[in-house]
Amino acid sequence: MNPSLPDTAAVLEAARAILFVDIARYLIGAGGIFLAINLVLRNPLKHRKIRPGSPSSLQMRSEILTSIRTATIFATVGVTIWLADHLGLLQIYSDPAHLGWAWFAISIILLVVLHDTWFYWIHRLIHRRTLFQRMHSHHHRSQNPSPFSAYSFNMGEAILNALYFPLALVIIPVSELAAFIFTAHMMMVNAVHHCGYEIYPKSQSGKPLLDWLTTTTHHDLHHANGRWNFGFYFTFWDRIMGTEHPEYHQRFSEAAGTSDANKSANKLKRIDNNRELPKISALLFILLGSFGTFHSTNSSAQTSPLEAISGMWASNGYSIVVDIEPCKSNYSLVCGSLVWAWSPDLIQDEAWKRLILKGFHYDGNRWVNGKIIHPVSNQVYRATIRPDTQDTLIIEGCVAFVLCEKQTWRRLSSLPHVIKTNTD
């Protein structure tokens, strides 16, 4: 009997089931890693935190919503796989022992190795300037990623990632159980690589115990600077093609260490200085020159609100540095301009030329009724700035009074490891 397409009711039932599985896989995988590592184990693992700060709740909500869209795209391709299997176009079988248990294991290994190759080259492709904004920029908005950013893709990137599996099933005989193990493993690795904590063990030399596997630090360096570390499961393509971060092993050793003092001294070494060193050096030269003046001013009588808020401020996770000062059009208001970004390739060109903080006035307690323009998305937030301590600001911003975010910014000159690290 010739294979034929199932009826519409069967297709709709399969589509609902596949969509449920894809969304559940994401929520259980990303949510489980977040619960286990970022919440339950965050204190035992605090010495293995790769970056300072934590992703904001607004960022994670955005990641979840975008990832559900990605899971829906994956499910659409999953329905295509289901239909192609009904037509006998794919090499899927139900009994895992059908071709022997040895082949069962080999098929999973093949799926993983080929997927790593597919991912590496697709990843490099969508980092090209002509494709990045349309295909990959959404994922890199998570500069300090969370496990929920695992599926946070542009639609084009989601489609390219989804295409691998049906193409692989055309040429590789795979049991349904092997397919399940492959997709579950893919989800877990993806979530772990975005968790922000280095959970992989290190050898006595300081390198990863299994150095041919990628680690959380390996992928976190890619989020810090998109020119390096494109691999998913393995490091060999990055090493063959010369795209592994030159300081990867050093950064891994720092992240996987046990000394809080060492972690503090090396936090901002995670900036790639090859491109940004002149800008950072000039900035820190200015900071060093004004450091004594700033402290002598604060040791005098009462500091004015304008003096208290003026200066260089680092946002959550050091993603950007903003220079806050009186607005040139009205010295009773404060404005702010972008002077440095962790991932400059993601910043809109206009953001370097315009004010990203505008029109805040002091109401006796807070700086209110101002606007903050997001340097990546250009989203405008109605915001308030509340001085918390001498060296911290509480930034609260909302879009349409619905999507609200709260961040703590720190005065750059209060972070001695930043100055020390970049002036050695």
Instruction: Tell me what pLDDT residue 156 has.
Output: 95
Same domain, residue pair 325 and 216: no
> Is 407 inside any structural domain?
yes
Give yes or no for residue 307 having a pLDDT over 90.
no
pLDDT tens by residue, 239-295? 999 999 999 999 999 998 754 444 444 444 443 434 433 443 343 333 334 333 333
C-alpha triplet 195, 152, 118: angle, nearest 5°: 90
> Is 1 inside any structural domain?
no
d(CA 184, CA 109): 14
Expressed as residue numbers, the domain containing 92 is 8-265
Q: What percent of the chain has pLDDT over 90?
A: 55
Same domain, residue pair 353 and 204: no
Q: Which structure tokens are listed for 301?
A: 């009588």
CA-to-CA separations, 320 to 336, 343, 351, 410, in angstroms, rounded: 12, 8, 11, 11
Same domain, residue pair 189 and 209: yes
> Is 270 inside any structural domain?
no
Mean pLDDT of the residues in the chain: 84
Instruction: Tell me what pLDDT residue 400 has.
Output: 55
Same domain, residue pair 247 and 288: no
d(CA 359, CA 362): 10
Same domain, residue pair 304 and 387: yes
Same domain, residue pair 217 and 353: no
Give the DSSP letter of residue 401. T
Instruction: Tell me what pLDDT residue 288 has.
Output: 36
Give yes or no for residue 175 having a pLDDT over 90.
yes
Within 10 Å of residue 172's Cβ, how many Cβ atoms?
17
Least confident of 25-34, 125-134, 233-242, 363-372: 363-372
Query: What is the reported pTM?
Result: 0.65
Same domain, residue pair 296 and 242: no
**Span 82-97, average pLDDT:** 91
Same domain, residue pair 317 and 388: yes
pLDDT tens by residue, 382-423? 899 999 888 899 998 876 555 678 889 989 888 755 544 343
Residue at which a domain ends, from 206, 233, 265: 265
Instruction: Tell me what pLDDT residue 111 has.
Output: 98
CATH number at residue 361: 2.40.128.520
CA-to-CA separations, 246 to 186, 211, 277, in angstroms, rounded: 26, 14, 16
> Is 102 inside any structural domain?
yes
Instruction: Tell me what pLDDT residue 399 has.
Output: 66
Number of domains in the chain: 2
> Is 3 inside any structural domain?
no
Q: Ramachandran region of residue 92, left (φ > 0), alpha (ψ -120 to 50) or beta?
A: beta
Q: pLDDT band at residue 200, thresholds of 50, 70 and 90?
A: very high
Residue at which a domain ends, from 265, 288, 323: 265
Same domain, residue pair 96 and 200: yes
Least confident of 1-5, 192-196, 347-351, 388-392: 1-5
Looking only at the bridges linking them, the beta strands covering 311-314 and 174-175 are unpaired
Same domain, residue pair 111 and 16: yes
Same domain, residue pair 131 and 60: yes
Give yes or no for residue 194 having a pLDDT over 80.
yes
Residue at which a domain ends, from 265, 300, 328: 265
* DSSP sequence for 176-212: HHHHHHHHHHHHHHHHHHTSSB--S-B-TTSSBTTTT
Instruction: Tell me what pLDDT residue 2 has.
Output: 52
Rg of the Cα trace of the chain? 24
Give yes or no for residue 236 having a pLDDT over 90.
yes
> Is 181 inside any structural domain?
yes
